[in-house]
Amino acid sequence: MVDYWNTMILPMLEGAKMTVLLFIIAILISIPLGFLLTLAAKSRVKPLSWFAHTYIYVMRGTPLLLQLLVICFGLPMMPVIGEYLVLDRFTAACLGFILNYAAYFAEIFRGGLLAIDKGQYEAAQVLGLSKWQTTTRIIMPQMFRVALPALSNESVTLIKDTALLYAVAVPELLHFAQTAVNRDFTIVPYFIAAAIYLVMTLLLTVLFKWLERRFKFE
């Protein structure tokens, strides 16, 4: 039993740690980046707005797995600059997830902004608030509230998408489960992996439910 624990569960928990770490890094960077993209897409500076729209279109319009392959294996093969683009696998994976998820979060925030009544901007204007004060004190908190359910959904997807790292040989949860399946010729590790994913998504769901209650404004 102790043996089994040591050879199977421990490596899988080690893999789960990798998954959680990647999730935290990706979400902490891609949410603010997504918000900046939303602002850029709405900007009156045309090239900035075109860049943001194109970026969102490309990132949402191509498979995440393809993007991960390009970052991990494609970039180092580029002529001349390729040799400077060899990233360690984990960094490359983080980069891939951040760039991809920022595009999805940008769309979520855009929806949140659309939900805010024009009267909110007008009220802020007649009270003399600056554009910056209006954005940070009036618009962003309301946008965040509207975006929460979609953010929650997207975060759960992110947890599960980390399994794509299996394809670029980052030693995450699924990698260790598959190794154990091959070695011991049993499917139990799959179920253990499923259970670990479920625990992670449960924690995430509980966290977001709490946030939704906290930001109910009633």
Nearer Cβ to other proteins (201/212): 212
Separation of alpha carbons 191 and 171, rounded Å = 18
Nearer Cβ to other proteins (79/128): 128
115 lies in the binding site for other proteins (CB under 8 A): no
Which residues, 6+ apart, have CB-to-CB distance to 104 below 8 Å? 34, 59, 60, 154
Window contacting other proteins (CB under 8 A); options: 30-38, 59-67, 95-103, 128-136: 128-136
Nearer Cβ to other proteins (91/125): 125
What is the nearest approach in angstroms of other proteins to the Cβ of residue 45?
19
What is the nearest approach in angstroms of other proteins to the Cβ of residue 212?
13
Window contacting other proteins (CB under 8 A); options: 3-11, 26-34, 88-96, 120-128: 120-128
Nearer Cβ to other proteins (62/125): 125
125 lies in the binding site for other proteins (CB under 8 A): yes
Helices (H), the chain: 2-4, 10-42, 46-61, 64-69, 89-114, 118-126, 131-133, 140-161, 173-184, 188-214
Cβ(75)–Cβ(68) below 8 Å: no
φ, ψ of residue 165 to 5 degrees: the values are -65, -20
Select from 48, 151, 45 the least CA-distant residue to 102.
Answer: 151
* Interface residues toward other proteins, by CB under 8 A: 117, 119-120, 122-123, 125-129, 133, 137-138, 141-142, 145, 215, 217-218
